[in-house]
Amino acid sequence: MTNSESATYASQAEWIKEDIAKTNKRWKIGLIHNSPFGKNYNAARAPIAQAFEEGGVQLVLMGHNHAYIRTKAIDSEGNTKDGGTVYLQSNAAGLKFNDLPNKMPWMEVVKQPYLPVFTALTVYPDKIVGSAYTVDKDTTTLLDSFVITSSMPVQPLYTVSGVVGELVEYYAENQNLDIDLFQLHNKFGKAKVKIYDSAFETVVAEATVGVQGIEGNLNYPFRLEGIPNSNYIMEITRGGMCPKVTSLSVTDSDIDLGVQKLLPGDVNKDYQISVEDVQILTARYKAGNTIYPSANYSYVFDTNGDGMIDIDDVKAVTAALKNFQGYQKWE
């Protein structure tokens, strides 16, 4: 989004270029209040139009003039261009309207129905479909429709699925009785699955799976769609458990990871289970006063999700320590 009410158009144009350079997304949509291509051409805002053109922005949503204007696909000077930028001004949502502007050479459609207008945009991999409607009390009427296509090849997308096990079910059955139980359910009855880029910095896709009620099955499926070919890092987390982190490669097919079980309990949150975790948990257990929501209770230490820190948690982490070697790699 740009600030059309500021005279810093050149510096904003540089920011637009830098921001667009950071993405490889197919569709790029700009937002601006007072556009270079409203009812008249505004030369002062030309640097912004140039940045949109250079960055391959396909659609710019603009305002200021209360009329319906849709331009042709144009370059930064208003000339028709294949694969250029379409500027769209969707009249007004209220009842303030400007008179019908003169139809300038870059305009495809210009209308003034003297009614509020909204535009619905549906984004597909290969096109954006727009439909503008007038609103007259309870009646909507189609005012304009258009399609913007992309010349960029459609990148195949795939699905990564699997199952997280095991989650704790008690709180799902009883959570309505006590807000504390509801909070514990969010820690132990749910798990988060995230796919990051290969640098482990940007989340590409994520999902939360969890117990919704007593079903007798504590393994719960996840499904992440729209994943392109690439190398990733996947992370699965649940309260009281050590996060499971591994590399993941998507290559021309969907992936079913099967059941992924988490081990207790990375209490120092260093992405591994070590003797230090056992020592920290043992000290917390010996401190006493560890039944939820007592002062010494923390879900991080409650590895079996029973609402208390006791000897069973210490035993669970000790057993997990013996099994941890190689744990972070997929079978």
- 292 and 217 part of one domain: yes
Of the three residues 111, 146, 181, the one that is the final residue of a domain is: 111
131 within domain boundaries: no
Which DSSP state fits 64? S
How would you label 158-192 residue by residue, b for 16+ Cβ within 10 Å and e otherwise? bebbbbbbbbbbbbbeebeeeeebeebbebbbbbb
Number of domains in the chain: 2
- 33 and 166 part of one domain: no
- 214 and 287 part of one domain: yes
Between 53 and 150, the higher pLDDT residue: 53
Of the three residues 111, 139, 171, the one that is the final residue of a domain is: 111
- 314 and 172 part of one domain: yes
299 within domain boundaries: yes
Element housing 139 (H / E): strand 139-149
pLDDT at 207: 93
145 within domain boundaries: no
Tens digits of residue pLDDT in 7-58: 677 888 888 888 888 887 889 999 988 888 877 777 667 888 899 999 999 9
Tens digits of residue pLDDT in 176-193: 666 777 778 878 888 999
- 318 and 224 part of one domain: yes
What CA–CA distances, in Å, run from 1 to 12, 20, 30, 33, 34?
10, 12, 6, 9, 11
Tens digits of residue pLDDT in 94-143: 888 888 888 889 899 999 999 999 999 999 888 999 999 999 988 999 99
230 within domain boundaries: yes
Q: What is the pLDDT confidence band of residue 6, given thresholds at 50, 70 and 90?
A: low
**Mean pLDDT estimate for the chain:** 85
- 170 and 311 part of one domain: yes
Of the three residues 74, 95, 111, the one that is the final residue of a domain is: 111
> By residue range, what is the domain housing residue 238?
157-323
214 within domain boundaries: yes
Whether the full predicted model's pTM is greater than 0.85, yes or no, is no
**Mean pLDDT score, 301-320:** 89
**Cis amide prior to 47 (ω within 30 degrees):** no
Tens digits of residue pLDDT in 258-292: 988 888 888 888 888 888 999 999 999 999 889 98
Q: Is the pLDDT of residue 152 over 80?
A: no
- 105 and 177 part of one domain: no
Q: What is the pLDDT confidence band of residue 215, given thresholds at 50, 70 and 90?
A: low
Own/partner long-range contacts of 75-81 (Cβ < 8 Å, ≥24 apart) = 76/36, 76/46, 76/49, 76/50, 76/52, 77/46, 77/49, 78/37, 78/41, 78/104, 78/105, 78/106, 79/106, 80/106, 81/53
| Low-confidence winner among 165-179, 238-252, 262-276 (lowest mean pLDDT) | 165-179
- 269 and 169 part of one domain: yes
Q: What is the pLDDT confidence band of residue 309, given thresholds at 50, 70 and 90?
A: very high
CA angle, residues 155, 150, 132, in degrees to nearest 5:
125
Distance CA 147, CA 57 (A): 15
The CATH number covering residue 309 comes to 2.60.40.4130
pLDDT at 325: 60
Between 312 and 271, the higher pLDDT residue: 312
Distance CA 234, CA 206 (A): 10
- 106 and 161 part of one domain: no
pLDDT at 233: 92
Q: What is the pLDDT confidence band of residue 216, given thresholds at 50, 70 and 90?
A: low
Q: Is the pLDDT of residue 331 over 50?
A: no
- 64 and 191 part of one domain: no
Between 107 and 5, the higher pLDDT residue: 107
- 89 and 184 part of one domain: no
87 within domain boundaries: yes
- 164 and 65 part of one domain: no
**Mean pLDDT score, 291-314:** 88
